[in-house]
Amino acid sequence: MSSHGLSASEIARKVRAREFSVTEIVIDSLERIGSLDGTLNAMITIERDRALERAAKLDSALASGEGPGPMTGVPVIVKDNMCTRGIPTTCASRILSDWKPPYNAAVVEDLEKAGAVILGKSNMDEFAMGSSTEHSAYGPCRNPWDTTRVPGGSSGGSAAAVAAGYVPIALGSDTGGSIRQPASLCGIYGLKPTYGLISRYGLIAFASSLDQIGPFARTVEDLALSLNVLARPDRKDSTCSSSERPDYLDFLKVGSLSGKKVGIVREFRDYDLHEDISRGVEKVLRILQNAGAVIEEVSLPVTMTSGLGAYYIIAPAEASSNLARYDGVRYGLSEEAEDLLSLYLKTRKAGFGTEVKRRILTGTYVLSSGYYDAYYLTAQKVRQIITREFTEAFSRVHTLIMPTSPSPAFRIGELVDDPIHMYMMDVFTLPVNLAGLPGLSVNGGYTSEGLPVGVQMVGPRWGEGEILSMAGVLERELGPARIAPGGLADEN
């Protein structure tokens, strides 16, 4: 019997009950990756031998009576911008193509302590800069619902891996929508936690004040399980909160939303939305209302008109600073050159792709003398206004609802030469990062072409439990996310 359609929670229960060995689970996942990834290209590195060795050790520990962790036997894939000791960590960039970190990211350590088995590293937009996973030195990833289309980005490989049934849980990072937008396009759950909930130690930085690690899954229970493992204080990350975390599984016991207020963001209707996106939002609102929630219209005028501009000043500015370390001297790619300046120029020219260069140049410009006040400082003031607008909204409602993305998955190559249109794919997600709030994309149905439609739920700071409980109510009505059909995935 195949295990690839099981959730992480089901796998952990069945391994504890000795219905499956960890080795059987891991072999099932590796075989599925082997059969599908030649088409999907969701993986950059597959660690077959390490995974099987790890599985054998876990089976031996279980046989000797050692207590299993909460994720024992669960196969997991992590985005290739999270450090893995002795395993290539490339950020999908030529400049780090041969780099093997000497340490693990905090989330990798947490997964392994919980008993998970990491199978490999997923494809992504280079240095997490993109919304389609086309900006990868390893080629574009494909959407398992329609392989002519993108899976979203920048965590597209992780999203595609979960949607195709490689694994029940994968990790992504979200700077402006890079978990929620691919979750939307691939028809699964994707959670960006509150900034500071999960340690960023070992996450290769794009924009340090915006980046946050979070899980992809096909069930809400698996999201809660992931947070229980990953959401912990970490002294190695000065931005990680030291506050005690709740048991996130407890929030799934909510049966009614009576007394809860849900805000629908008025301004999203001003955008040119695909009609099925609008229908998906309305369907989610109906389900929440039928469960007892009160729907109330909320306005975020500055957030929805100026968030995009502020983000694309702040994020490239931070990126230009963070990526200065890739100089060909300390690690990674190093081109031969006659002098130090030539080494820098030749290495960065050969190592960085077009989108990364575009953002470095933009960031350097807005931080330069004479432009800092006009651009970067102004964007930071807008960020403060956005944060205040969200705070005011959450004084009236418990959760906000809006689309995750203005359109379903687009075709590979369709927007690759149109960066402004590509940036608009994150117009509803990036304000959430600017305010440091939690956001969750849930599947709200499918288009007439069978493409998934995502709906975004946004909570107040540290409000993961609030949005998980509402997502649990939705899931009881809609069912868990489906593994992609169409010959790529056998749902039996």
Q: What amino acid positions are annotated as catalytic residues?
A: 79, 154, 178
Q: Which two tokens stand for residue 445?
A: 């149905």
Cis status of the peptide bond prior to 256, with omega within 30 of 0: no
Question: Shortest CA distance to 6 belongs to which of 228, 232, 184, 225?
Answer: 225
Query: Please, which residues have CB within 8 angstroms of residue 466's CB and are 6 or more apart in sequence?
Result: 251, 398, 399, 459, 460
In the block, residue with structure tokens 């960031």: 363
Bridge partners for 143 per DSSP = 146
Pairing of strands 294-298, 261-265: parallel
Residue 203 is given by DSSP the state B
DSSP result, 401-441: EEES-SSSPPBTTSSTT-HHHHHGGGTTTHHHHHTT--EEE
Collapsing DSSP to helix, strand or coil, 340 comes out as helix
- Spacing of C-alpha 31 from chain mean position: 24
End-to-end alpha-carbon separation of the chain, Å?
10
Reduce the secondary structure of 23-90 to three states and give it as a string: HHHHHHHHHHHHHHHHHHCCEEEECHHHHHHHHHHHHHHHHCCCCCCCCCCCEEEEECCECECCECCC
The Cα 165–Cα 173 span in angstroms is: 20
The Cα 44–Cα 234 span in angstroms is: 28
